[in-house]
Structure 1
Amino acid sequence: MRFNSPTSSDGVREQIFQLGDVPGVLWTPQDAIGPRPLILLGHGGGQHKKAPGVVFRAHRFVTELGFAAVAVDVPNHGDRTDEQYDRVVDENRARVAAGEDPSSVIAGFQELAARQTVPEWRAVLDAVQELDHVGTGPVGYWGVSLGCGLGVPFVAAEPRVTAAVLGLGGAFGAAADLARRITVPVEFLVQWDDERVPRDRSLALFDALGSAEKTLHANPGKHADRLPLHELDSTTRFFARHLTQQG
C-alpha cells in the first residue's frame, strides 16, 4: 500500500493510497492513535471514491464516532480506467437500446464487477487494518445503488463485516441467493418512486436478507434523488450501536 502525503481539515486526516491497481482513500481522526472501528464505503454507479456523498458520510463517521472510513474506485470509475469494462458498458447500452430488460443487464454487469471487487475490497481491509491508527476493530459496510449491488456479495463473503447499510438495489440475478447468506444487522434504504429499481425487486432483496435484525427505511423519491439527511443520522446511530458495542 503506497500513500500520498496526507492532508487534514476539520479534524479529519485524509490519505490517498494505491494498493496494486486499486486507488483508494482512508479517512481517520487527525490525531488517531490505536485501533478503532472501520467503515468501507461503496460508491454509486458513475461516481468514485471521493464523490461528495461518500466524503460527507466519511467525515460524519470520523468526527462524530471517531471511526476510520475507507473507499476505493470500482473498475472503470474515478481514477481507474479499464478497456474491458468500457467495452462491456458499450455493449450493455446497445442491449438496452435494442429492448432488453435493463435490470438483467445491470445484474450481469454487477456480477461481473463483483468477481473482481470482492477480493480487492478484502485485500484493502487486510492492508488498512495493519495500520496502527486503524487496527483490527469491528468493520461496517455502507453502499447504495452500485454500492449495494457490489456490497451484497462482499458482505456475504466477508466475516469481518458485522453491520451493513444497503439499498437502492434489488433482487436481480444472484443477489437474492447472496442476500440469504447475510446474517449481520442491516439497514436497507428504498426510494419509493425508484424508476431504475422496481419497488417489488427492492422489497424482495430486503426480504431475502438472512439477518435476524433488519429494518426497511423507505422514502419518497426517484433513484438519483438525494437521500434525506435524517437517514444519515440513522446510519450514524446504527453503526455506533453495532460497532462500538464490540470495541
Structure 2
Amino acid sequence: MHSVHFTAETSANGVVERDFTVGEVTGMLWSPASGADRAPLVLMGHGGGMHKKAPAMVGRAHRIVAHCGFHVATIDAPGHGGRPRTEVDEREIAALHEAMAAGEPVGPIVVRYNAHLAERAVPEWQATLDALQELPEIGTDGPVGYFGLNMGTAIGVPLTAVEPRIAAAVFGLFWHESLAEAASRITVPVEFALQWDDEHIPRSSGLALFDAFASKEKTLHANAGSHKELPRFEADSAARFFARHLGPAVTSPA
C-alpha cells in the first residue's frame, strides 16, 4: 500500500494546505491550523476539465474546514491536473470539443467518458483513503463524507456505493442513465443539488437520479438557473450537512 507523501505546505486564514501524492495520484489536503487532535474527513471530487486546486474546490474546502473543523481531501482525476492523458482521454475530449463547437448535445459524450473515468478513479480514491487514514490526525475510526458535483458525482456515486467508510454524501448536476444502478445501492444520507433550468441535463434526468438513491434521508436542493449558476450558498449548506452527519471533531483530554 502506498503512503501519503507531502510535497508542499502553506497556511492561510486558519487553514493548512498540503499537496500530496499517493503513488502516482496527486492530491491536496486542507486541515485546521489548530483545534481538535482528530477530525472527520470529507473527500471532494472536482468537475470535468478541472483539477484539485480549482477555485471552486479551494473555496468549498475552506468553508468546510472553517465551519466544521474537518479535513478535506481531493485528488486529480485520471487525465486531469498534471496527470497524463491516455488515448481514450484524448479521443473523448476531442469528441466533446467537436460537439460543443457544432452546438450538438454533449450529454451522451460526458456520460460515456465519465463512466470510463469512474472505473479508473474509484480504486484510486480507495487507495488514497487508505493512506489518509494512516495519518494520526485522521485515523481509521473517524467518519468520512464525500462531496462532488458534475464529474465529481459521476465518480462519487459508484465510489459511495462500494465504499462502506463513506457515511454521508453531497452530489448533484449529473444525468441518471449511468448512475441509477449504483445510486440504488446507496443508503447513507444524501444531499442533492439540481439546476431547474439546466441546459445540458434534462430536469427529468436529474430528478430520476435523486429518486434512485435508496437513502431513507435524502434532500433535494433545486435552484433556478442554468448549469453553471449553482448558488454559492449550496457550499454552505453542504458544510452544515456534513457537520450534522459526521459529528464533531475530537480533542484529547488535557
Please indicate the TM-score interval, normalised by the length of the shorter structure. Answer: over 0.9
Q: How many residues align?
A: 245
1:47 CA displacement = 0.9
> Which has the higher mean CA deviation after the structures are superposed, 161-170 or 81-90?
81-90
**Identity level (%):** 50
> Which has the higher mean CA deviation after the structures are superposed, 56-65 or 90-99?
90-99
Going from structure 1 to structure 2, the CA distance change for 1:207 and 1:146 (only over 3 Å counts) comes to same
Give me the TM-score of the superposition, normalised by structure 1.
0.92
The CA RMSD over aligned residues, in Å, is 2.0
Matches within 5 A, 1:81-230: 81-84=84-87, 85-93=89-97, 102-136=106-140, 137-173=142-178, 175-225=179-229, 227-230=230-233
Measured in 2, the distance between the counterparts of 1:46 and 1:70 equals 18
> Which has the higher mean CA deviation after the structures are superposed, 12-21 or 98-107?
98-107
Going from structure 1 to structure 2, the CA distance change for 1:100 and 1:5 (only over 3 Å counts) comes to closer
SS for the counterpart of 2:8 is coil
1:94 CA displacement = 5.0
Task: Show structure 1 runs of 5+ residues with no match.
Answer: none
Going from structure 1 to structure 2, the CA distance change for 1:63 and 1:101 (only over 3 Å counts) comes to closer
Measured in 2, the distance between the counterparts of 1:5 and 1:187 equals 33
Task: Show structure 2 runs of 5+ residues with no match.
Answer: none
SS for the counterpart of 2:246 is helix
1:121 CA displacement = 0.3
Partner of 1:17: 20
Give me the TM-score of the superposition, normalised by structure 2.
0.90
Give the partner amino acid of 1:241: R
Larger relative contact order (CA 8 Å, sep ≥ 6): 2
Measured in 1, the distance between the counterparts of 2:35 and 2:238 equals 22
Q: Does the Cα contact within 8 Å between 1:104 and 1:172 map onto a contact in 2?
A: no
Going from structure 1 to structure 2, the CA distance change for 1:95 and 1:59 (only over 3 Å counts) comes to closer
Going from structure 1 to structure 2, the CA distance change for 1:177 and 1:140 (only over 3 Å counts) comes to same
1:128 CA displacement = 0.7
Deviation per residue, 1:11-36 (Å, 9 max, x gap)? 11111011112110001111356321
